[in-house]
């Protein structure tokens, strides 16, 4: 059976600047995870739409909005 070569991963300049999560204990918590997901999905949504991957861009935008809604609701609960 022939071995399939994997394609090298492409990284953008922005991805290099983000800190990588190494240990599960260093994640921070749900708010930090939601903020990271909102930011990352926004970037990925723009990338998908730029390359005319409309459905994928739409789904990523939905993920961004859901993460932002989670953050908004959590901040409301903290103010009460």
The residue ranking higher by pLDDT, 43 or 79, is 43
Cα gap 8→18, rounded to integer Å: 20
Task: Give the CA count within 13 Å in the CB-facing half-sphere of 3.
Answer: 3
Taking each helix axis from N to C end, the angle separating 30-50 and 54-79, rounded to the nearest 10 degrees, works out to 150
* pLDDT score recorded for residue 75: 85
CB atoms within 10 A of CB 2: 4
* pLDDT per residue as tens digits for the range 51-69: 999 999 999 999 999 999 9
The pTM (predicted TM-score) of the whole model is 0.63
How is residue 20 written in tokens? Answer: 């990588």
| pLDDT tens digits for range 3-61 | 566 655 565 555 555 555 444 456 689 999 999 999 999 999 999 999 999 999 999 99
């Amino acid at each position: 059976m022939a071995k399939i070569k994997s394609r090298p991963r492409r990284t953008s300049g922005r991805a290099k600047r983000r800190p990588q999560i190494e240990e599960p204990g260093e994640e921070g918590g749900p708010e930090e995870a939601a903020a990271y997901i909102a930011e990352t999905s926004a970037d990925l949504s723009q990338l998908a739409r730029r390359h005319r991957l409309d459905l994928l861009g739409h789904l990523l935008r939905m993920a961004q909005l859901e993460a932002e809604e989670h953050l908004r609701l959590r901040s409301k609960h903290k103010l009460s």
